[in-house]
Amino acid sequence: MADTSEIEWTNATWNPVTGCTKISAGCDHCYAERFSERFRGVVGHPFENGFDLTLRMERIRQPLSWRRSRMIFVNSMSDLFHKRVSQSFIDQVFDTMEAANWHTFQILTKRSSLMRNYVNRRYKDTVCPSNIWLGVSIEDGTKKSRVEHLRQTNATTRFLSVEPLIGPTGSLDLSGIHWVIVGGESGPKARPMKAEWVREVREQCLHEDVAFFFKQWGGYRPKSGGRELDGRTWSQYPNKKESEQVFVSAAE
In a domain, 207, yes or no: yes
What is the predicted pLDDT for the residue at 174?
98
Domain that holds residue 113: 12-242
Which alpha helices (H) appear in the chain, and where do they start and end?
31-37, 87-99, 112-122, 145-151, 195-208
In a domain, 247, yes or no: no
What is the predicted pLDDT for the residue at 3?
64
In a domain, 2, yes or no: no
In a domain, 4, yes or no: no
Domain count, the chain: 1
Rounded-to-integer distance, Cα 94 and Cα 99, Å? 8
What is the predicted pLDDT for the residue at 239?
82
Query: pTM of the entire structure?
Result: 0.93
| pLDDT per position as a tens digit, 108-152 | 999 999 999 999 999 999 999 999 999 999 999 999 999 999 999
Q: Measured over all CA atoms, what is the biggest interatomic distance in the chain, rounded to whole angstroms?
A: 52
